[in-house]
Amino acid sequence: MGLHYRKSIRLGPFRINLSRRGVGHSVGGRGARYTRSADGRRTMTFRIPGTGLSWRRPLRRR
């Protein structure tokens, strides 16, 4: 069993995520969100609020 740490700070539509790996961020609302993780991965998430349905698409690095 390893030690895990995660802290999320919300600033309106922006969210800063702190973890052992580093700092990530995300921006968006209830229906769509863009996320960049601490290790550089980027994803777009689209959700239908109230249904539990979501679609996540990884974005490629350039």
Instruction: Kindly report the average pLDDT of the chain as a whole number.
Output: 90
Q: Domain range spanning residue 41?
A: 6-59
C-alpha–C-alpha distance, residues 30 and 18, integer Å = 21
Number of structural domains in the chain: 1
pLDDT at site 6: 84
Give the pLDDT score at 1: 59
13-17: average pLDDT: 94
Q: What distance in Å separates the CA atoms of residue 42 and residue 60, rounded to the nearest whole number?
A: 7
**Is-contact 57 50, C-beta < 8 A?**
no
Contact 34, 25 (CB under 8 A): no
Bigger pLDDT: 48 or 30?
Answer: 48
Element at 42 (helix H, strand E): strand 42-48
Q: Is residue 25 part of a domain?
A: yes
Instruction: Decide: pTM greater than 0.85.
Output: no
In a domain, 1, yes or no: no
